[in-house]
Structure 1
Amino acid sequence: MAEHKVCYLVCYDIRCQKRWRKASKLLEGYGERIQYSIFRAWLTLREREKLRWELEKILKPEDGLLLVGICNRCLERVLASNRPESWPGRQDSYRIC
């Protein structure tokens, strides 16, 4: 049985450009960039904890990190005024054969 995936919004404020680049590269492997320091990723609980652990190795106390889980109902209510196609509906986390 496949693990359930949840949509997460990952936002960060990193003071050092070198750490910012490392975090950005790491997040590109997990999801897609929405804005300069904001990513959207579909993650299982295990993937989320792995990402958090990897980011903690990069970040310093003065940096900020926000991981927000977005339920399917909230995804339906997202307002994307200039690029509506950038927020498609729910991504299936399973495949029926």
Structure 2
Amino acid sequence: MAESKNYYMICYDIRDPKRWRKAFQLLKGYGESLQYSIFRCRLTQRDREKLRWELEKILTPEDSLLIAGLCDRCVERIQSCNRPEAWTVRHDCHRVF
């Protein structure tokens, strides 16, 4: 049975440009950039933990990381006022049993 995927909003504040670029490149492989330090990712629980582990190798104690899980109801209520196309939801969430 396939693992279910959930949306996560990942935000970070990284003080060093070199570490910032590494984190940015890593996150580009997992999701899409909404702003320079904010990503939207659709991940399984296993992928989320793998991403967190990979980011922890890049970050130092002076950096900040926030991974916010979003339920389906939260995703439906998101308002993207300036760029409405920035948070379009794909409805390809079919599961084959």
Q: Which TM-score tier does this pair reach, normalised by the shorter chain?
A: over 0.9
Q: Name structure 2 gaps, 5 residues minimum.
A: none
Distance 1:44 1:37, change over 3 A: same
Match of 1:30 in 2: 30
Match of 2:13 in 1: 13
Please say if 1:43 is aligned against 2:47: no
Match of 2:73 in 1: 73
| CA deviation after TM superposition for structure 1 residue 45, in Å | 0.2
Determine helix, strand or coil for the equivalent of 1:75: helix
Percent identity over the alignment is: 65
Counterpart contact for 1:19–1:58, Cα < 8 Å: yes
Count of aligned residue pairs for this structure pair: 97
Q: Name structure 1 gaps, 5 residues minimum.
A: none
Q: Which amino acid aligns with 2:73?
A: R
Please say if 1:63 is aligned against 2:63: yes
Distance across 1 between alignment mates of 2:57 and 2:89: 32
Q: Which amino acid aligns with 2:18?
A: K
| CA deviation after TM superposition for structure 1 residue 89, in Å | 2.8
Of 77-86 and 9-18, the range deviating more from structure 2: 77-86
TM-score normalised by L of structure 1:
0.93
